[in-house]
Amino acid sequence: MEINSPKTLIVVAHPHIADSTTQQFLQAAVHQTSAIWHHIDGLNSLDVQQERQLLAAADRIIFQFPLYWYAAPASLKKWQEQVLSTNFIQQQLAHKQLGLVVTTGLPQKAFQTGGSASFTLDQLLAPFYAFGQQAQMQCLPKFAIYQFSYLTERQQQQLFMDYQRYLTQPSPDNLLNRSNWYLNYLQQHPQLPQQALLIDYLTQQILALDNLQTTWNLIKEAEDDRLDI
Amino acid sequence: MEINSPKTLIVVAHPHIADSTTQQFLQAAVHQTSAIWHHIDGLNSLDVQQERQLLAAADRIIFQFPLYWYAAPASLKKWQEQVLSTNFIQQQLAHKQLGLVVTTGLPQKAFQTGGSASFTLDQLLAPFYAFGQQAQMQCLPKFAIYQFSYLTERQQQQLFMDYQRYLTQPSPDNLLNRSNWYLNYLQQHPQLPQQALLIDYLTQQILALDNLQTTWNLIKEAEDDRLDI
């Protein structure tokens, strides 16, 4: 079964990307997908029209950055100030999806009242959610990566897949979409061990979900008929 | 009566300051005080040591900026990234005061759930409050200027004085400190009409507050004595 992935643009802001193992890890994950990796600090000069075309062509726009002083790097802010305008965002970005991939050297527990960051990550990201609201975009839940360097190999593998799913899985993030995404992933990665078993399992699960949906629709129709009498 | 004003540094970030009537208005207000106006976009190159010395010498540090895409301009973010370090802020900024002067073309009512900005200004400024917490600074309530160009002349006069008070009045912002600040202001501006009457009024008010304080202290001492028996 083919999934109908969104066209995803990742606007990556990181002033020292060559030194960032996290960003290199994420870039490797992106290269296995159809998503576009667009590193803005690397641009020699900013072509506003070209940036706007990239944005207009995407279904899902993701801002990806490390948290510096509890906010996005200056380079992303500068890009926003140069590329975006109220007219442009309302005419071209409305109804697209907005995602945020945020990396931080702080642990997850720092982001709470009484924690070392004092605020939740969502609270600190309020300027982006306000932007999404103004542009009438659909804000996706953020994708946060805490203390990448402390992750075990197993956790890194999970992150690699979860990140790819964040980039390419159709929304909403429900059981059917997730199952279809995993099935598609397995079919495209035949080197994975236990692949056949997993594919069988997922195919059965998806059929069960489809049956459930059909049953549910029949119940609803019957109910609607009853109410029409 | 002389007031003991804090040494105030205003870190001003505005990429188009020559076009900003608001910033010119505020700069005129600063020039009548002992506060330092430090426009960072105007610096040819950033001397980190010099910036740090300015910060270390201040009692009250104020970040002043227009809200661009619901956050501080890129220039302030870049300044933060270049000048600040975890060690520096914890060793040199602890226990200083942190103020925020934020200008915006949106009306005050935009900053609420359901308003056009979706968030309160305090929510959008969370990254600065998180910074203040990390530096163990004392965060002052923000000073917001909404839609400066719509202010009447009377409102502008009030703003001029309120802003100067935000820069120079000792904290906390209670009745005694406010009264002392106004009295000092009137004594230094002899051209103001009704000056003598206002000075008399404020002097009496301050004496009354002093008496109240003395009485309160006597009551507390008596209470303490009673409890010691």
Burial (CB count <10 Å: 0-12, 13-18, 19+), residue B213: exposed
Angle between helices B153-168 and B21-31 (to 10 degrees): 50
Distance from CA of A74 to the nearest CA of B (A): 5
The residues near B131 (Cβ < 8 Å, ≥ 6 apart) are: A69, A70, B80, B89, B98
Distance from CA of B26 to the nearest CA of A (A): 23
Strands (E) in chain A, as ranges, are 8-12, 36-39, 60-66, 97-104, 138-139, 143-146
* CA A210 – CA A223 distance, rounded (Å): 20
- Which position has the token pair 């004003």? B5
User: Is the distance from CB of A141 to CB of A155 less than 8 angstroms?
Assistant: no
pLDDT of residue B135: 97
Which residue of chain A comes nearest to B85, CA vs CA?
A69
User: Is the distance from CB of B170 to CB of B164 less than 8 angstroms?
Assistant: no
Kindly state the tokens that stand for A221: 């129709």
Residue in A117, A123, A131 nearest the CB of B70: A131
Contact A127 B69 (CB under 8 A): yes
pLDDT of residue A229: 57
User: Is the distance from CB of B97 to CB of B61 less than 8 angstroms?
Assistant: yes
pLDDT per residue as tens, chain A (229 positions)? 467 889 999 999 999 999 999 999 999 999 999 999 999 997 878 999 999 999 999 999 999 999 999 999 999 999 999 999 999 999 999 999 999 999 999 999 999 999 999 999 999 999 999 999 999 999 999 999 999 999 999 889 889 999 999 999 999 988 888 888 988 888 887 777 667 777 777 888 888 888 888 888 888 888 888 777 5
pLDDT of residue B2: 60
Contact B74 A74 (CB under 8 A): yes
Contact A77 B68 (CB under 8 A): yes
Contact A118 B129 (CB under 8 A): yes
- Which position has the token pair 């002033």? A15
CB contacts < 8 Å between A and B, how many?
A: 89
* CA A119 – CA B124 distance, rounded (Å): 12
DSSP secondary structure code for residue B68 in this structure: B
pLDDT of residue A194: 66
Contact A124 B134 (CB under 8 A): no
Contacts A124 to B, Cβ<8 Å: 126-127, 130
pLDDT of residue A43: 84
Contacts B131 to A, Cβ<8 Å: 69-70
* CA A59 – CA B142 distance, rounded (Å): 38
User: Is the distance from CB of B118 to CB of A133 less than 8 angstroms?
Assistant: yes
- Which position has the token pair 């010691």? B228
Residue in B77, B117, B133 nearest the CB of A77: B77
Contact A80 B73 (CB under 8 A): no
Q: Where are the alpha helices (DSSP H) in chain B?
A: 21-31, 48-57, 74-83, 86-88, 121-124, 126-134, 153-168, 175-188, 195-228
Residue in B69, B124, B129 nearest the CB of A84: B69
How far is it between the farthest Cα atoms of chain B?
69
Residues of B with CB under 8 A from a CB of A: 15, 68-75, 77-78, 80-81, 84, 116-119, 123-124, 126-131, 133-134
DSSP H or E stretch at residue B66: strand B60-66
Residue in B81, B130, B133 nearest the CB of A74: B81
Choose the mutation target among A70, A85, A89 for the interface with B, i.e. most B CBs under 10 Å. A70
Kindly state the tokens that stand for B182: 């106004």
∠ CA A187-A191-A195, nearest 5°, is 55
The residues near B156 (Cβ < 8 Å, ≥ 6 apart) are: B25
Q: Specify the amino acid at residue A137.
A: M
Contact A127 B70 (CB under 8 A): yes
pLDDT per residue as tens, chain B (229 positions)? 467 889 999 999 999 999 999 999 999 999 999 999 999 997 878 999 999 999 999 999 999 999 999 999 999 999 999 999 999 999 999 999 999 999 999 999 999 999 999 999 999 999 999 999 999 999 999 999 999 999 999 889 889 999 999 999 999 988 888 888 988 888 887 776 667 777 777 888 888 888 888 888 888 888 888 776 5
∠ CA B104-B175-B172, nearest 5°, is 65
Alpha-carbon dihedral B42, B48, B54, B57, rounded to 10 degrees: 170
User: Is the distance from CB of A164 to CB of A99 less than 8 angstroms?
Assistant: no
pLDDT of residue B193: 67
Contacts A123 to B, Cβ<8 Å: 123, 126
* CA B3 – CA A44 distance, rounded (Å): 52
Kindly state the tokens that stand for A151: 């992750």
pLDDT of residue B229: 57
- Which position has the token pair 């576009």? A36
* CA A113 – CA A133 distance, rounded (Å): 25
